[in-house]
Structure 1
Amino acid sequence: MEAAIGVLVSQFKAYAGSDGSSDTLSRGEFQKLVASQLPNLVKDAGDPAVIDHLMSTLDENCDGELTFLEFWQLVGRLANQHGGFGK
């Protein structure tokens, strides 16, 4: 699990850092990350409406960017669905 956490953190920072700040994901960075890294777990990851909806549900402070903790909520939801938990 430690390796998986390391991968999640490094991927977040790699995508977040494309516009200068490695602390948050802009909408564009988030879309690139989801489309590239989660294409099988996020339906229609290339659809801007899907990305807008995800951003609005994850962006708790409504600043238009996602912190790692905000992004982590998506990881938890996807893991929950993928594992068949909460059905």
Structure 2
Amino acid sequence: MESAICVLVSQFKIYAGSDGSSDTLSRDEFCRLITSELPAFVKNASDPAAINQLMSSLDKNNDGELNFMEFWQLIGHLASKQGGFSQ
């Protein structure tokens, strides 16, 4: 599990850092991350409107970016769904 956490954190920073700040994902960075890393886990991952809607639902402070904790909510949801824990 430790290695899985390290991968999630490093991938977040790689994608977030493409515009210079590794602390948040912009809309474009989030789109690239989803389409490259999670296409089988995110429904309609190739649909920009679906990605925009997903990002808006995760962006709790409405700043147009996702910090790691906002992003982590998606990871938790996907892991729960994959494990059969969500209804």
Same fold, judged at TM 0.5 (above): yes
What does the per-residue CA deviation read over 1:20-40, in whole Å, with 9 as the maximum and x for residues that have no partner?
000000000000000000010
Residue 76 of structure 1 is matched in structure 2 by: 76
Aligned 1:1-87 pairs, distance under 5 A: 1-87=1-87
Q: CA deviation at 1:86?
A: 2.6
Give distance in 1, aligned partners of 2:7 and 2:33: 13
The structural deviation recorded for 1:61 is 0.2
Mapped to 2, the partners of 1:29 and 1:22 lie a distance apart of 10
Identity rate of aligned residues, in percent? Answer: 68
Amino acid corresponding to residue 6 of structure 1 in structure 2 = C
Q: Work out the number of aligned pairs and report it.
A: 87
TM-score (norm 1): 0.97
The secondary structure found in structure 2 opposite 1:41 is coil
Unpaired segments ≥5 residues, structure 2 = none
Once residues 39 and 86 of structure 1 are traced to their aligned partners in structure 2, the CA distance between those partners, rounded to angstroms, is 19
Give 4+ residue runs of structure 1 displaced > 2 Å after superposition. Answer: none
Unaligned 5+ segments in structure 1 are none
Cα offsets for 1:18-74 (capped at 9, x unmatched): 000000000000000000000100011111111111111100000000000000000
Structure-2 separation of matches of 1:56 and 1:77: 15
